[in-house]
Amino acid sequence: MVADGLLTRQRYREVPPRVDYELTERARDLLPVIGALARWGYQWAWTAPRAGEAVDIGAVLRSLPGLEAPKGLRGVTQLIVTRPDDEDRVYAVTAKKGAVTVQEEALTDAPTTISGTEAAWVAALGPDEDRKGLKIAGDQAQANVLLDGLAPLHAREAAVA
């Protein structure tokens, strides 16, 4: 994908070695297509994870920029996916002018934070929309707007950005 101009690659001189990949403008132009594929997947291909199957919640969240912001979503919401290896994933979801951006970064002053284990996120984003395992701090209404926008039924109906 680097050779095709969709990603830039940055190698860091660290131990252990680290490489970051970033989307290029060309790749960002594909986000509406990714959003449409996410909607299709929610409608036709979502199943509960099989035993031992890894689910990358971040991949689901990264499809958000391909969809329009859910009605009423505003500002920044921090999402935390706690993992058994203590390598938690933290995302900042920003809604601005009807569009959504997602960055993998921690915020010190997020007005709303939603956190949970990978299993809790899978349950919340699945067809049953079981949010009991998620913890919400801050603006409950904003958290619900975002979670509703991520839910399969709503994502199916969401317009492509």
**What single-letter DSSP state applies at residue 17?**
-
Going by C-alpha positions, the residue among 39, 59, 43 that lies closest to residue 161 is 39
Amino acid at 48: A
Query: Can you spell out the DSSP letters for 38-90?
Result: HHHHHHHT--PPPTT----HHHHHHTGGGBPPPTT--EEEEEEEE-TTS--EE
Quick one: fold of 7-157? Nonspecific Lipid-transfer Protein; Chain A (3.30.1050)
- Tens of pLDDT, residue by residue over 108-146, are 899 999 999 988 998 888 777 889 999 999 999 999 998
Q: What is the mean pLDDT of residues 85-110?
A: 87
Q: What is the pLDDT of residue 160?
A: 52
Query: How many angstroms separate the CA atoms of 159 and 161, rounded?
Result: 6
Q: Provide, for the chain, the percentages of residues in helix, strand and coil under a 3-state DSSP scheme, each rounded to the nearest 5.
A: 30, 30, 40
pLDDT band with cut points at 50, 70 and 90 for residue 154:
low
Q: Are 112 and 138 in contact (CB under 8 A)?
A: yes
Going by C-alpha positions, the residue among 92, 69, 94, 65 that lies closest to residue 81 is 92
Q: What is the pLDDT of residue 137?
A: 96
Calculate the dihedral angle through the C-alpha atoms of 62, 100, 161, 71, rounding to the nearest 10 degrees. Answer: 120
pLDDT band with cut points at 50, 70 and 90 for residue 91:
very high
- Tens of pLDDT, residue by residue over 9-65, are 999 888 888 888 888 889 888 877 877 787 777 677 777 778 887 777 877 777 766
pTM: 0.72
Q: What is the pLDDT of residue 156?
A: 47
Query: Can you spell out the DSSP letters for 109-120?
Result: S-SEEEEEEHHH
